[in-house]
Amino acid sequence: MLNENSLPGIKNSELFKPEIVSIWHVKRDMHAQKFTQSLRSIYEPKNLFCVFITYQGTGKLSTDKKTYLLQENTLFIVRVDDIKTYNGSSETPWKYFCFNYVSEIKIPFFEYDVIYNVSFNNTDKSTLESLFTVITQDSVLNNTYINSQLLALLTKWAIDFNEKDSPKTPYYQTIRDCISHIQLNINKNLTVVDLAKMCNLSESTFYRAFVKIIGISPKKYILDKKLNQAKLLLKFTSNTIENISFQLGYYSPFQFSRDFKKKFGISPKHYRLQLGN
């Protein structure tokens, strides 16, 4: 069953705000210079973590406790201070992306020092390649985009990993298609009745299937997505609160402000004032 709320650490996902320090797209073989702690930059921050995403070949990474073989389609997260060495393990190049990040909150979904098999596809590779390019164009907006994209990818891989050992429930693909539709049309007034019709299901069957697969009601899922989008619009645009409310399919700014304050504990007006916008 796909249940985002059942994933380890999902309740802390909104608190986890990774700050990307660097992104690397690397090809190494056994003859390349081996990474050691002496090669680290003196300018790196404390409490730095690294996400390794291997998409070809095999790498060997050693800590004080253990040596890990990072094979194709695996994800591995480690505290950089714990790494002793890493390098390609054979003549075949080890190709991987790695993100160095800092965060005051432990990463949700995944444990440190554990190798996870993930569904790493061409779309993911293209996304990572684009982030590798974007990070060279330093700006607050670009950094925010990179941080959010990394969290989105980690969430996707966590859900994919969780699904491998979970039976596919009835209407699984129908609900997944519905989720895509919601995300693409979050600015519209989406109702359970309309979504059920789109899925060719009765309203009750649609509701039960949605809750079983996603873990929350359709109404709450839509509301959460709208309000998260509202935060971005308040932060990065000069649109009025009234315009934002209508842009997200609300009937009135009052209803929008009420929902926003209920979720985030602050009104849209005061949230924007806090940002200095």
Same domain? 135 vs 213: no
Same domain? 52 vs 184: no
Give the DSSP H/E element, type plus range, for residue 185. none
Same domain? 9 vs 141: yes
Same domain? 17 vs 124: yes
Cβ contact 24:98 at 8 Å? yes
Q: What is the pLDDT of residue 141?
A: 66
Same domain? 88 vs 155: yes
State how far the Cα of 235 lies from the Cα of 119, in Å rounded to an integer: 33
Same domain? 74 vs 148: yes
Domain boundary among 105, 132, 164: 164
Split at pLDDT 50, 70, 90, the class of 259 is very high
SS3 20: strand
- The structure tokens 């390019």 sit at 133
Task: Please say whether the dihedral angle defined by the alpha carbons of residues 75, 80, 81 and 87, taken in this order, is positive or negative.
Answer: positive
Same domain? 205 vs 190: yes
Same domain? 189 vs 275: yes
- Give one DSSP letter per residue of 258-269, joined into a string: HHHHHHHSS-HH
Domain total of the chain: 2
CATH code, domain with 58: 2.60.120.280
pLDDT tens, position by position, 213-225: 777 889 998 998 8
pLDDT tens, position by position, 46-96: 778 999 999 989 999 999 889 999 998 899 999 988 999 988 887 788 999
Domain boundary among 164, 183, 212: 164
Split at pLDDT 50, 70, 90, the class of 261 is very high
Same domain? 138 vs 22: yes
Domain boundary among 164, 196, 229: 164
State how far the Cα of 132 lies from the Cα of 203, in Å rounded to an integer: 44
CATH code, domain with 203: 1.10.10.60
- Give one DSSP letter per residue of 51-88, joined into a string: EEEEEES-EEEEESS-EEEE-TTEEEEEEGGGEEEEEE
Same domain? 130 vs 31: yes
Cβ contact 55:45 at 8 Å? no
State how far the Cα of 76 lies from the Cα of 70, in Å rounded to an integer: 7
Same domain? 203 vs 222: yes
Residue 202 domain boundaries: 170-277
Per the prediction, the chain carries an average pLDDT of 82
Same domain? 130 vs 35: yes
